[in-house]
Every structure is written in structure tokens, then in C-alpha cells.
Homo-oligomer: A and B are copies of this chain.
Amino acid sequence: MAQPRFLVVADGAFGPETSKTANCAIRYVPERVAAVLDASAAGRTAQDVLGFGGAIPVVATLEAGLALQPPPTALLIGIAPRGGRLPDAWRGWIAAAVDRGLDVWSGLHTMLGDDPDLAARARAKGVRLFDLRRPPADLPVSNGRARLVDALVVLTVGTDCNSGKMTAQLELLRGLEARGVRTRFVPTGQTGILIAGWGIAVDAVVADFIGGAAERMVLEAAPGAEVVLVEGQGSLLHPGYSGVTLGLLHGACPSAMILCHKASRRLIGEYHPGEAWIEIPPLAEVVRAYEAAASWVHPARVVGVALNTYDLPERAAAAAVERAARETGLPATDPVRFGPGPLVEAIARAAADRPAAGSIPSA
């Protein structure tokens, strides 16, 4: 089908750290983004607000978005309320977009397609409701089968949510492909699925099947690949999401991990003001925690650190990278700001050193 042309809703929240799906769409599939809808930033451009995204305009209303030429064909929900459920207030403008003939792409936990009113409106207009987080119905319970693939499986892991785990993998994908390494990206969240066009949101499956979702995707992506890059989720240290993180780690069975960290962050979840209370430990300690947790099922080493330094001046960013490398003894970079070179090297080396592993069991 034709690529959608998105009007990306980020109302009241378009910004570097508050509109993750919008920002990743703008960074990785800008050709699909017609405009951003946020009354509080209307008249500016994506570049003004994010520091990237060029002339993509911010508009104040649905009508203003629809007046663009060529007009958008779909509404993309570009921000996530806490917990990911549909706030009642959003139902109205989603219905309005459907009534105006737009498809709707949503990464919410609330499945728009299951809403009788929205589903009826969509049927009446012949438009589609894409629920990016809707899980498949027949997931397995994972049993370590992913450890047996020939490809090197690399998982991004984090000190926290929202620290660059998907972005690091997309930058590594580019870097490894540029080196001629046969690489596959495994999306595990709604934004990765939006960009890559396949995947399972592991945080939206029934809890018993977190690992099974990861295992199925790795087994699907691995044949013919030298490297499989699995998008990480959450953090082992996060009081709300650690279960998803460990299930993903034990289902995907990586042999290598990249630790992602937002350099300026001190508390887990501090982007939710007033709710954060856990201090992020020194990076070397976080490395040990992930390696210990991996070892319970399948050993994995952290082979590099990906920092997110977008909010630091250049010199402070470089110093943060240098400090992370020193503290952990590992290659470090901000893959967006300074390029993914040192991490690409580390992964390519780990892939080359990897012994020809077993084969995927038939069952």
C-alpha cells in the first residue's frame, strides 16, 4: 500500500523528551510526516523544537493540518499518556480525524479498533485504525531457543526508560549496513514497529508471553543475518517496567548488550516530575546487573555504552562520553551526535569472533 502521510498529534507535549513517537517518526521516516499538531508550538518547525526535522511545520488544529498540500492521509498519535491508555479527552479528536477520512495509527495500550464507536465511524468512512501494540494471539512461552541462532544477537539495555535504546539500534543498523554486515532490526515497541513495519510490542502482550514474543522475533529475523539488533525496553532498575525488561532479555537471549543512558539524568523516571526516587547507580554497576541477570539464562556481555547527550553542550557531551568509557572500560559514544563508530566496531568484532553456533531447533 502507499506510504501514509502523517499528521502527528503531540498536543501540548511536542518536545525533545515528551513526544517520543513523534520525534522518532520525524528522525527516521520524515518523508511520511506532513505536520505536527500541537497548539502550544504552532507556527514553529520541527527543527525549531527538536533541533532536527527541518521544515516540517507545527499546526494548531486538525483543520490547519488538513489544509496542507498534499494533505495528510493518516493521524499518528505521537505522544503517550502515562500507562499508555486512551484518555477520554482524546476520543473526540480521534473521532473527528476519522470522520474527516484519516486513518489512525496508534501505539496506545487501549486498542482503538476495539472501541465500538471509533470502529463504527472507521467502517462508515472506509478508513483504518492501526493499533501498533496489538499483540498476536498465539505467542509461545519462551525457552531459550533464541540462544541457538547463528547470528550475533545484540540487545540495547538501559539505565531507565526513554534513554535511547531504539535510536541506538537504528543508528547501529545504519552503521553496520554501511560496513557490509548483514543486519536485521527487531522492533519491540510501537515506535520501532511504526518505523520498521513489523514487530511485536512486548510491553503489550499478556505477561506470560513477554519472552515468547522476543524469542519468536529473533528466530524470525536471524536466518541469513550476521547481526540481529533487538530494541530494548524499560530498565531492570525501573520499579514499573523491570519485568518487561527481564522477560525481553531472557526471551531474546542476546550474547552482546549495549548499555544506553541519558547522560544528564540522575533519577530513574525523572521526566515524570515528583514521582522519581531511585538514583541511577554508577554505569559499571548497571553493567554488572545486566550481565548477572543475563547469566541466569544465557551469558551476555555489555560491549559498549550509548549515551544520549542531546541536552548537553558539545564539550560536556564529549566529557560524558569519555567518562562513561573510563568508568566502564568499554567503547562509548553518543551514536546520534558523534556517530555510532566505536559501537559498530565492537559489534562487528563480536560477530566475527562468534563461533559457529548451534542451529535453530525445529521445535
Count A interface residues, CB 8 Å.
Answer: 46
Residues of B close to A144: CB separation below 8 A = 239, 277-278
Give residues of chain A (268-297) contacting chain B, Cβ–Cβ below 8 Å. 269, 275, 277-278, 289, 292-293, 296-297
Q: Is the CB of B236 within 8 A of A296?
A: yes
A111 to chain B, nearest CB (A): 11
Residues of B close to A109: CB separation below 8 A = 206, 208
Which of A97-105, A217-225, A242-250 lies at the binding interface?
Answer: A242-250
Give A243 to B238 CA distance when docked, in angstroms: 13
A150 interfacial contact with B, CB 8 Å: no
Chain B residue with the shortest CB-CB distance to A141: B240
A105 to chain B, nearest CB (A): 19
Residues of B close to A289: CB separation below 8 A = 292, 296
Residues of B close to A96: CB separation below 8 A = none
Chain B residue with the shortest CB-CB distance to A147: B239
Give residues of chain A (207-266) contacting chain B, Cβ–Cβ below 8 Å. 207-212, 236-248, 250-251, 253
Q: Is the CB of A251 within 8 A of B236?
A: no
- Select one of B143, B245, B247 contacting A244, CB under 8 A: B247
Give A212 to B238 CA distance when docked, in angstroms: 12
Q: Is the CB of B242 within 8 A of A211?
A: yes
A8 interfacial contact with B, CB 8 Å: no
Residues of B close to A292: CB separation below 8 A = 289, 292
Q: Is the CB of B210 within 8 A of A239?
A: no
A84 interfacial contact with B, CB 8 Å: yes
Q: Which residues of A contact B (CB under 8 A)?
A: 82-84, 109, 140-144, 202-212, 236-248, 250-251, 253, 269, 275, 277-278, 289, 292-293, 296-298
